[in-house]
Amino acid sequence: MIKTLIFLASAAVIAVAGTDEVVNGAIALLSGTGVTGNVTFVDQADGKVRVTGRIVGLLAGEYGFHVHQKGDITGGCASTLSHFNPYGKQHGHPEDENRHVGDLGNIHFDETGTANINFVDSMIKLSGPSSIIGRGLVLHERNDDYGRSLHPDSKTTGNAGGRVACGVIGILDSRNNGNKAASAFVLIATLAFSIVFSFML
Ligand SMILES: [Cu+2]
Ligand SMILES: [Zn+2]
């Protein structure tokens, strides 16, 4: 009887734990006039976030790429407001200490009008105060000068100009990045442990 109760209690704990979703991936569909693409953000074991994706539709060159405050595109990309900056810092380069959390630098488009994105960022997060979930992702018409020029907008926006495409960063279906397998493994291991433990009593 006790064994059955312990087994049922363990099963209940597992069931509850299973509903507590851990977000470790995010995705944004970017769209603008003639510009489309998608960008994925996935937590790495070292605490950094890997950013991958593909955007098409701009001439070869460098274009400013940022996470903006709001995931609101009701009035176009303007509704995403300014750069996501939860710690009141200045605009900067992605590797600067003093930067907005949303400062992802520039995206390179090649001669075919395609940007293949693959880099790691140490400041954006998928949970906590630096979480980018639900915020806006914006691609600009010019390159970001990383706050290093004398232009009056340099220290706030990198003087990257207008917004050519944007999207909302949402929670990624974890089946898209292999984390489903990891959580299934934890679930099976916990279940096996509870069975063994209940037989020991
Ligand atoms: Cu921006
Ligand atoms: Zn910025």
Q: Given 43, 99, 100, 121, which residue is catalytic? A: 100
HEC string of 33-63 equals CCEEEEEEEEECCCCCEEEEEEEECCCCEEE
- Residue 72 bears catalytic tag: no
Give the global pTM. Answer: 0.80
What pLDDT shows up at residue 174? 77
Segment-wise mean pLDDT, segments of 10 residues, the chain, 201 residues: 54 54 94 97 97 98 98 98 98 98 98 98 98 98 98 97 98 70 52 58 58
Integer distance in angstroms from the first to the last C-alpha of the chain?
A: 11
- For Cα atoms 41, 47, 50, give the angle at the middle one, nearest 5 degrees: 25
Ligand nearest to the CA of 142: 1
Condensed to tens digits (0 to 9), the pLDDT of residues 74-103 reads 999 999 999 999 999 999 999 999 999 999
- Residue 151 bears catalytic tag: no
Report residue 59 as tokens.
């001439």
Ligand 1 centre to CA of 10 (Å) is 48
- Residue 173 bears catalytic tag: no
Q: Given 43, 68, 99, 145, which residue is catalytic? A: 68
What pLDDT shows up at residue 177? 55
Buried b (16+ CB within 10 A) or exposed e, 152-169: eebbebbbbeebbbbbbb
Q: Nearest CA to 158 among 104, 88, 86, 97?
A: 104
Q: Given 43, 66, 135, 145, which residue is catalytic? A: 66
What pLDDT shows up at residue 197? 53
User: Cα–Cα distance between 89 and 93 in angstroms, integer?
Assistant: 12
Q: Which residues contact 38 (CB under 8 A, 6 or more apart)?
A: 27, 28, 29, 30, 53, 54, 55, 167
Return the amino acid letter for 31: S
